[in-house]
């Protein structure tokens, strides 16, 4: 469907454009979160680890956990460059982050939990946020709870539980849990705002399209009514002023033809699989109401002709059907680029209407009281 004029071209239309806008928005969020995580986890956390490297029970465990976090952030950088999501690698990445948290926590010397020596406590949370940025807030909250649980169990199982240690854990948890959660909530809010904006834009496009379609349909209907009024209005005026009598054969013939044209006009607005056959059935219904036996046969499959072409193809048929005395046979045949409407009926005094569109050819033959008409249309490729 063509886009109606007047729509803002700055907004992408369709699923592809909306998905592009969404991916660009999430990409910006991912880049910002990656930079923050790299500064906090690798910059500040790494410097704290190096400064206290001699104080750890197992310095290699600290170096290994730092390498694991760096590897996760490196993978995120590669995925950003490739414009790819984490996908099925998301869970393994979170498992690596939690494993690094455990590995670093168990080698923190006694009395130094939740301090700068325990650098992992304030680093793993942001690395995990990088992996889970596009997930719901509850998923980020579950990861942060797991990270917090590791720190708590490390304190309870491997260290002396003192008042100072508990206070450090509690105060440190405000930043460890609060800041990533705020970022996750902000990211979710941005996604919701974007989704609402996309939905609003879709609704605007839908309304504008419907208005454009309605206006075009109204214009076409007015044009078609003007065409019909050129023949039907004089007939109605003649019947109204008495210059035409309903009993006259010519008047009855004209009335039947105008009735068939009206039925065809109403059928043109119907949404059907085969408009040509649908309109011919409506034309045949007028003849059937007069007691004419009508046989409608179709063979093959053909492309849907434009409205103007269908009118040319059905004009001769509806005239024959409207003026048939007792019987008529309509045959529609077609293939990939051709369609033909053949009519045989027992009608006399028949004039073939000239086609108004290019590509339509109409032929008629008369034998006594029988008329054979063929209307053909060849689609130009």
Q: How far is CA 114 from CA 111, 167, 341, in A?
A: 9, 9, 88
274 burial type by CB count under 10 A (0-12 exposed, 13-18 middle, 19+ buried): middle
pLDDT band for position 22 (50/70/90)? low
Longest dimension (CA), the chain: 118
Say yes or no: 86 and 180 in one domain: yes
How many separate helices (H) and strands (E) can be counted in the chain? 10, 5
220: in domain: no
4: in domain: no
Say yes or no: 130 and 261 in one domain: no
pLDDT at res. 13? 41
Say yes or no: 265 and 179 in one domain: no
Say yes or no: 269 and 199 in one domain: no
30 burial type by CB count under 10 A (0-12 exposed, 13-18 middle, 19+ buried): buried
% of the chain exceeding 70 in pLDDT: 93
How is the beta sheet containing 338-345 ordered, strand by strand?
293-300, 327-334, 338-345, 370-378, 360-367
104: containing domain: 15-204
Say yes or no: 90 and 183 in one domain: yes
Average confidence score pLDDT of the chain? 84
The mean per-residue pLDDT over the stretch 161-187 comes to 86
Among 139, 173, 204, the domain boundary falls at: 204
Say yes or no: 256 and 348 in one domain: yes
300: in domain: yes
pLDDT at res. 14? 46
Find out whether 261 and 313 touch, Cβ atoms under 8 Å: no
Find out whether 113 and 126 touch, Cβ atoms under 8 Å: no
Say yes or no: 37 and 152 in one domain: yes
Which residue is associated with the tokens 């509690």? 170
Q: Which of 41-55, 214-228, 322-336, 352-366 has the lowest mean pLDDT?
A: 214-228
Find out whether 301 and 334 touch, Cβ atoms under 8 Å: yes
Number of Cβ within 10 Å of residue 135's Cβ equals: 18
Among 153, 179, 204, the domain boundary falls at: 204
Find out whether 170 and 162 touch, Cβ atoms under 8 Å: no
235: in domain: no
Give the pLDDT confidence of 307-340 residue by residue, as tens digits: 889 888 888 888 888 888 899 999 999 998 899 9
- pLDDT of 7 > 60? The answer is no
In SS3 terms, 270-317 reads as: CCCCCHHHHHHHHHHHHHHHCCCEEEEEEEECCCCCCHHHHHHHHHHH
Q: How far is CA 4 from CA 103, 182, 200, in A?
A: 61, 42, 17
263 φ, ψ (degrees, to nearest 5): -60, -40
Q: What is the CA radius of gyration of the chain?
A: 39
349: in domain: yes
Among 185, 204, 223, the domain boundary falls at: 204
Say yes or no: 36 and 154 in one domain: yes
Say yes or no: 46 and 167 in one domain: yes
Give the pLDDT confidence of 227-270 residue by residue, as tens digits: 777 778 888 888 888 888 888 777 777 787 777 777 787 777 77
Which segments within 70-218 are labelled E, that is strand? none
Q: DSSP class of residue 360?
A: E
38: in domain: yes
pLDDT at res. 220? 76
CA gap 134, 126 in Å, rounded: 14
CA gap 224, 229 in Å, rounded: 9
pLDDT at res. 321? 84
Kindly report the CATH number assigned to the domain that includes residue 333.
3.30.565.10
pLDDT band for position 69 (50/70/90)? very high
Say yes or no: 51 and 179 in one domain: yes
- pLDDT of 19 > 70? The answer is no
Say yes or no: 19 and 134 in one domain: yes
Cα 206 to chain center, whole Å? 11
Q: Which residues pair with 332 in a beta bridge?
A: 298, 341
266: in domain: yes
Q: Structurally, how many domains does the chain consist of?
A: 2
Say yes or no: 142 and 256 in one domain: no
211: in domain: no
């Amino acid at each position: 469907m063509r886009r109606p004029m007047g729509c803002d071209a700055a907004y992408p239309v369709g699923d592809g454009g909306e998905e592009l806008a969404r991916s660009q928005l999430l990409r910006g969020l991912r880049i910002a979160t990656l930079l923050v995580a790299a500064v906090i986890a690798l910059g500040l956390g790494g410097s704290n680890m190096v400064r206290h490297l001699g104080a750890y029970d197992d310095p290699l465990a600290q170096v290994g956990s730092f390498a694991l976090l760096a590897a996760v952030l490196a993978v995120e950088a590669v995925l950003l460059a490739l414009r790819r999501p984490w996908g099925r690698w998301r869970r393994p990445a979170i498992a690596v982050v939690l494993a690094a948290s455990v590995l670093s926590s168990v080698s923190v010397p006694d009395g130094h939990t939740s301090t700068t020596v325990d650098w992992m406590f304030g680093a793993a949370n942001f690395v995990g946020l990088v992996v889970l940025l596009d997930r719901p807030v509850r998923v980020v909250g579950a990861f942060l709870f797991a990270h917090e649980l590791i720190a708590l169990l490390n304190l309870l199982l491997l260290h002396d539980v003192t008042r100072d240690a508990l206070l450090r854990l509690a105060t440190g948890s405000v930043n460890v849990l609060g800041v990533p959660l705020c970022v996750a909530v902000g990211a979710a809010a941005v996604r919701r705002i974007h989704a609402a904006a996309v939905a609003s834009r879709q609704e605007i496009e839908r309304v504008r399209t419907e208005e454009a379609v309605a206006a075009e349909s109204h214009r076409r209907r007015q044009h078609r009514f003007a065409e019909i009024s050129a023949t039907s209005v004089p007939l109605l005026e003649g019947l109204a002023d008495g210059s035409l009598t309903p009993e006259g054969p010519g008047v009855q013939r004209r009335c039947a033809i105008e009735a068939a044209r009206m039925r065809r006009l109403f059928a043109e607005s119907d949404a059907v699989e085969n408009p040509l056959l649908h309109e011919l059935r409506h034309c045949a219904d007028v003849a059937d109401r007069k007691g004419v036996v009508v046989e409608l046969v179709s063979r093959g499959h053909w492309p849907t002709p434009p409205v103007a072409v269908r009118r040319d193809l059905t004009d001769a048929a509806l005239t024959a059907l409207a003026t048939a005395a007792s019987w008529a046979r309509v045959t529609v045949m077609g293939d990939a680029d051709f369609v033909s409407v053949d009519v045989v009926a027992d009608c006399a005094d028949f004039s073939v209407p000239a086609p108004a569109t290019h590509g339509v050819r109409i032929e008629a033959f008369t034998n006594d009281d029988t008329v054979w008409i063929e209307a053909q249309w060849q689609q130009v490729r």
